[in-house]
Amino acid sequence: MKIERVEVIPYSIPYTHPLQFASGKVTHADHVLVRVHTDDGVVGTADAPPRPYTYGETQESISTIITKTFAPQVTGLDVFDRERIHAVLRRTIHNQVAKGALDIAVWDAIGKRLGAPVHKLLGGYTDRLRVSHMLGFRPAHELLDEALRFGETYGISTFKLKVGRRPLALDIEACHVLREGLGDGVEIYLDANRGWTANEALEVLRRTEGLGLTLLEEPCDAKEALSRRRLVDRSPIPVVGDESVPTAGDVSRELLSGGCNAICIKTARSGFTEATEILGLCTGLGVDVTMGNQIDTQVGSLATVTFGAAHEATSRRAGELSNFLDMADDLLAEPLLITDGTIRVRDVPGVGAEIDEDKLATYRLS
Ligand code: MUC
Ligand code: MG
């Protein structure tokens, strides 16, 4: 089953509640839908969310690198020869999100061809993931209202709070207000998106002691190597690498140099193939993982659920899966539902991301 062509469809869907965090703000899902067409009529689908402030990729760069560079290289290759496809993609450095979407689309095509759900092909550990909801920058009382509403409406009891603001007191207050308002049964963890220095992060840890925060993600730039290592040594909670570890090589470097001691896996930037490699590294070394979110659509979130539910280590913690709730619309023909705080995998061939063509026609840019 050979790849006949690769299609890129840039589209834009507005957010009803834009998400703001230390490294950027998302008001529109300006993403690229990627479709791998095979010579026997199977179409694999995936979503590519550009995050220029994180990886340098844009909607235009993703469309161009796939159309001009990757598509000519993978056309004619068999979708089952994933190692060959990856050997080709690896010749081009960076462009993680473009590569990740191509990889997921290839897996989707494989699943459809075999008549098998991809979550089963990847591991089939469980059929659902608990959902963690990401809270962006807002005044503390609004954050609490949002968390309570998500708890009540969707049964979500894990929240990732975006921090990394200055003065530090803004985030410290938010942590205290959330813990007081949500009670002890709710998990709260932090993601600073490199907004602080390592020493500022240490101060925040001191001033939030006793609140039971569980993880501290990307507190500062990982290039701040010495101070970051000192922070990791002194932190009472795992320090999670996210944007510092988009590839398996980055994961090895950061874990071995003491830049972090837990890893956020994101299928949007690693696809399923490199995410599997990263997961193997982490479980082999005895390092905790989280399933992160790149402010994904329902299409992207379904890919995260597919990978996360397939493995034991990735399904232990709640995965970040709910940002699509803040979008005005989405492309999935059958909407993704959060029930009892969980999202289920789809037991259909492939990943299960069937696209509503009318919606795609409405939101596509070209
Ligand atoms: C996260 O975990 O950092 C923000 C930027 C991005 O690329 O992902 C999000 C969430
Ligand atoms: Mg993060």
Give the number of whichever ligand sits closest to the CA of residue 134. Answer: 1
Atom number of ligand 1 nearest to Cα 264 = 2
* Closest CA to ligand 1's atom 10: 294
Q: Which of 305, 344, 322 is nearest to 146 (CA)?
A: 322
Cα dihedral: 246, 117, 318, 22 (round 10): 30
Ligand 1 contacts (CB < 6 A) are: 21, 51, 54, 191, 193, 242, 292-295
Considering every ligand atom shown, identify the ligand nearest to the alpha carbon of residue 292 and give its number.
1
Active-site amino acid positions: 162, 191, 217, 242, 266, 294
CA within 13 Å, CB half, 307 = 33
Ligand 1 atom closest to the CA of 54, numbered from 1: 7
Say how many Å lie between the CA of residue 124 and the centre of ligand 1. 27
Q: 256 CA distance to ligand 2 centroid (A)?
A: 20
Residue 300 one-letter amino acid: G
Ligand 1 nearest atom to the CA of residue 294, by list position: 8
Q: Which of 97, 159, 293 to mutate to test the pocket of ligand 1 (most atoms within 8 A of CB)?
A: 293
Tens digits of per-residue pLDDT, 93-119?
999 999 999 999 999 999 999 999 999
Closest-lying ligand 1 atom to the alpha carbon of residue 160:
2
- pLDDT, mean of each 10-residue run, the chain (366 residues): 98 97 97 98 98 96 98 98 96 98 98 98 98 98 98 98 98 98 98 98 98 98 97 98 98 98 98 98 98 97 98 98 97 98 98 98 96
Centre of ligand 1 from the C-alpha of residue 294, in Å: 5
37 CA to centre of ligand 1 in angstroms: 30
The rounded Å distance from CA 21 to ligand 1 centre is: 8
Q: Whole-model pTM?
A: 0.98
C-alpha to C-alpha distance for 272 and 100, rounded to whole angstroms: 7
Instruction: Give the residue, out of 19, 51, 158, 297, with the most ligand 1 atoms within 8 A of its beta carbon, to mutate for a pocket test.
Output: 51
Nearest to residue 320, comparing CAs of 238, 255, 232, 242?
A: 242
Strand 24-38 versus strand 43-48 pairing type: antiparallel
> Sign of dihedral through CA atoms 25, 153, 288, 215?
positive
Which of these, 288, 229, 236, 224, lies nearest to 260 by C-alpha position?
229
pLDDT at 366: 87
Ligand nearest to the CA of 133: 1
Name which residue sits closest to atom 9 of ligand 1, judged by CA: 294
